[in-house]
């Protein structure tokens, strides 16, 4: 009992659209899918003729479909855009090998220039080095913040007008608006299901794991929740987007003028941008600065400042010890004896000697290369992980430092997240969602 294509072309339908419930054949689906993205672009005037546009390319399904569709539409409707691909190499052993290959495939398939920027170039730290410092738990804060700014820096280098990202309707509903940077999201009204079906039917090659380090529990959480909601009320996601956009306009009016980060000279809403705060923490050996609760970060900074004078002595002591023990950890100061000085936060389960620190590093790299673990972690919806790994952009700033610190209040943002869904779909309490 095949279902006919609703467009009346005489073929059998191949899918049911989540938005409209329309049943379409492949060809009619392609046309509807592409035309809707065209309308999104035209209606919101996302581009101007002659613009250079960098497509943020991860090798994943969204950016692959975005590159394919923009290429198609640019030709079909003669947008006159100069499209190029921009990729970030975080410096995660084994992780980008495959996805950068996929991006190179995009480059060849769509005949676009490709610029790959590495974290090492931009920040002086690879993600592997960051993980060696802070462990696996919180590094998605670094991923997210560093990645956002890496795209800006890359866009500046390529001299493009804007960055097109592959955020789709589901993503935008999950993470809220991204902030101040000139980004365009041509897929913002496009459902994930259709993106995946489009890629499948067009046989587009994409790479299907996220960040190796990403427990991403917070995001997975919201995502699973939305997927459940979508089953009950398919327009839920769209409602959230529309309400999100309305709010965004309101916010813009009351926002203070954009600033320039005093350290790196890039756009920031704070005196010192989030990336620089994180870097400050890394370089000072307080890697969790800017991640955890404000009270903890304050304490860390106070302790840090109080110990600043002692520090040189301590470091030179450690250096001496290290020389004696022939102990060098990645060309940096050996940190193995720090616990004894007790000025780094107590929770830190730093190992007692350098050799074991290095073992730990190796170990985490080995674990990270296992993609099944990645998947399990990505999927894993653990209530505990959720709170710790949360990333928010609208942190509160705290006083009494030589620079403003963008701190998160996890509890607040957790509530905000729930509110978003309750407010937008009003279906929360009637649902039984097992986390």
Binding Zn ion (rule: CB under 5 A), the pick from 115, 233, 263, 296 is 263
Residue 246 belongs to what H/E stretch? helix 236-254
Does 122 sit near Zn ion (CB under 5 A)? no
Burial 49-71, CB ≥16 within 10 A → b, else e? eebbbbbbbbbbbbbbbbbbbbb
Binding Zn ion (rule: CB under 5 A), the pick from 15, 55, 143, 158 is 143
Could you tell me how many residues of this chain bind other proteins (CB under 8 A)? 43
Does 227 sit near other proteins (CB under 8 A)? yes
- Enter the tokens of residue 18: 């989540």
Torsion of CA 296, 256, 146, 151, to 10 degrees: 170
Contact map string, positions 81 to 120, toward other proteins, x by CB under 8 A: ----------------------------------------
State whether residue 326 is helix, strand or coil: coil
**Smaller CB separation from other proteins, 133 or 175:** 175
Binding other proteins (rule: CB under 8 A), the pick from 128, 280, 378, 410 is 378
- If you ran DSSP here, which 8-state letter would residue 266 be given? S
**Smaller CB separation from other proteins, 249 or 372:** 372
- The partner in contact with residue 210, picked from Zn ion, other proteins, none with C-beta cut-offs of 5 to 8 angstroms by kind, is other proteins
- Enter the tokens of residue 179: 């902030």
**Smaller CB separation from Zn ion, 27 or 228:** 27
Span of 245-253, 284-292, 313-321, 374-382 interacting with other proteins by CB under 8 A:
374-382
Query: Considering only residues 229-248, where is the footprint of other proteins by CB under 8 A?
Result: 230-231
Does 223 sit near other proteins (CB under 8 A)? yes
Query: Considering only residues 187-216, where is the footprint of other proteins by CB under 8 A?
Result: 192-193, 195-197, 200, 206-210
- The partner in contact with residue 5, picked from Zn ion, other proteins, none with C-beta cut-offs of 5 to 8 angstroms by kind, is Zn ion
Does 42 sit near other proteins (CB under 8 A)? no
Q: Are 327 and 336 in contact (CB under 8 A)?
A: yes
Binding Zn ion (rule: CB under 5 A), the pick from 46, 66, 214, 297 is 214
Does 136 sit near other proteins (CB under 8 A)? no
Helix residue ranges, H only, 285-344: 294-325, 338-341
DSSP letters for 125-139: --HHHHHHHH-SSSH
Does 288 sit near other proteins (CB under 8 A)? no
Does 407 sit near Zn ion (CB under 5 A)? no
- Enter the tokens of residue 103: 């991006």
| Number of other CB atoms surrounding residue 156 within 10 Å | 12
Binding other proteins (rule: CB under 8 A), the pick from 45, 256, 312, 372 is 372
Alpha-carbon distance of 277 to 264, in angstroms, equals 11
Nearest CA-CA partner of 160 in 105, 115, 101? 115
Least distance from Zn ion to the Cβ atom of residue 141, Å: 8
Torsion of CA 422, 426, 429, 433, to 10 degrees: -70
Nearest CA-CA partner of 210 in 225, 227, 223? 223
CA distance readout (Å), 351 to 213, 335, 344: 21, 9, 13
**What residues line the site for other proteins (CB under 8 A)?**
2-3, 12-16, 23, 58-63, 166-167, 171, 192-193, 195-197, 200, 206-210, 220, 223-224, 227-228, 230-231, 371-372, 374-376, 378-380
């Amino acid at each position: 009992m095949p279902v006919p294509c609703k467009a009346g072309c005489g073929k059998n339908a191949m899918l049911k659209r989540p938005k409209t419930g329309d049943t379409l054949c492949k060809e009619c689906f392609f046309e509807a899918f592409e035309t809707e993205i065209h309308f999104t672009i035209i209606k919101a005037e996302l581009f101007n003729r002659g613009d250079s546009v960098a497509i943020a390319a991860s090798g994943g399904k969204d950016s692959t479909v975005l590159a394919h569709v923009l290429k198609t539409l640019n030709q079909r409707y003669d947008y006159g855009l100069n499209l190029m691909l921009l990729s970030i190499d975080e410096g995660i052993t084994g992780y980008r090998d495959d996805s950068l290959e996929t991006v190179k495939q995009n480059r060849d398939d769509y005949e676009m220039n490709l610029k790959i920027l590495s974290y090492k170039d931009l920040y002086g730290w690879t993600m592997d080095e960051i993980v060696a410092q802070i462990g696996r738990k919180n590094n998605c804060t670094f991923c997210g913040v560093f990645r956002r700014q890496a795209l800006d820096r890359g866009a500046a280098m390529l001299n493009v007008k804007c960055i097109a990202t592959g955020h789709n309707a589901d993503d935008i509903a999950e993470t809220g608006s991204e902030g101040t940077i000139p980004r365009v999201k041509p897929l913002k009204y496009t459902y994930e299901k259709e993106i995946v079906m489009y890629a499948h039917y067009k046989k587009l090659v994409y790479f299907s794991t996220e960040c190796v380090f990403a427990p991403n529990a917070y995001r997975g959480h919201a995502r699973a929740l939305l997927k459940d909601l979508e089953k009950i009320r398919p327009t839920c996601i769209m409602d959230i987007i529309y309400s999100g956009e309305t709010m965004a306009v309101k916010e813009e009016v009351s926002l203070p003028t954009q600033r320039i980060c005093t350290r790196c000279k890039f756009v920031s809403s704070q005196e010192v941008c989030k990336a620089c705060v994180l870097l400050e923490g890394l370089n000072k050996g307080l890697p969790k600065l800017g991640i955890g609760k404000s009270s903890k970060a304050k304490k860390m900074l106070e302790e840090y400042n109080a110990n600043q004078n002692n520090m040189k002595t301590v470091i030179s002591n450690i250096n001496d010890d290290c020389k004696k023990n022939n102990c060098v950890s990645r060309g940096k100061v050996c940190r193995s004896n720090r616990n004894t000085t007790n000025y780094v936060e107590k929770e830190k389960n730093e190992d007692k000697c350098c050799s074991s620190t290095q073992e730990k590093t190796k170990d985490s790299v080995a674990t990270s290369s296992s993609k099944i673990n990645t998947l399990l972690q990505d999927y894993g919806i653990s209530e505990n992980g959720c709170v710790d790994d949360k990333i928010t952009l609208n942190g509160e700033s705290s006083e009494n430092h030589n620079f403003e610190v963008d701190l998160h209040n996890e509890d607040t943002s957790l509530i905000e997240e729930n509110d978003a869904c309750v407010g937008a779909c009003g279906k929360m309490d009637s649902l039984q969602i097992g986390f």
